[in-house]
Structure 1
Amino acid sequence: MVISIANVVLMPLSFAGNIFVEPATMPGRLRAFVEVTPLSHVATAALAAVCGPLVLFLYGRRG
């Protein structure tokens, strides 16, 4: 039951977030909603947490 309720909440948030679509291409109201959605912030932070160390490692190997 809890998983079903969580899916009802998370599915619209994931499709209205910046996971699949760049917010710059969204209409104004939806873009404003995406900018304050916690799931968008988590997705951006996860991307930075994965790509940041990888880029630093590759940059260090090059020098």
Structure 2
Amino acid sequence: MCPHEPCCPTAEAADREAARTVAAHPEQGWSLLCNGVVLFEDTGELLPSGAAIDPHRPTPLMGAA
């Protein structure tokens, strides 16, 4: 369980990327979050269940200058 106050989002939550980083390896392109999610620099994710989330980079807002 998460020791942080307030608790980090779970790996199943939509905002799971907001969990705190507990191990960072930028030279390898990944970080481990408090909720067990492995976050890759291309925005892909590996969940503790073994499910992979495809990269989901933000897209530019329409009408933005």
- The answer, yes or no, to whether TM exceeds 0.5 is no
Query: Which of these two proteins has the greater Rg computed from alpha carbons?
Result: 1
TM-score w.r.t. length of structure 2? 0.24
Greater helix percent: which structure?
1
Q: RCO greater where, 1 or 2, for CA within 8 Å and sep 6 or more?
A: 1
TM-score w.r.t. length of structure 1? 0.24
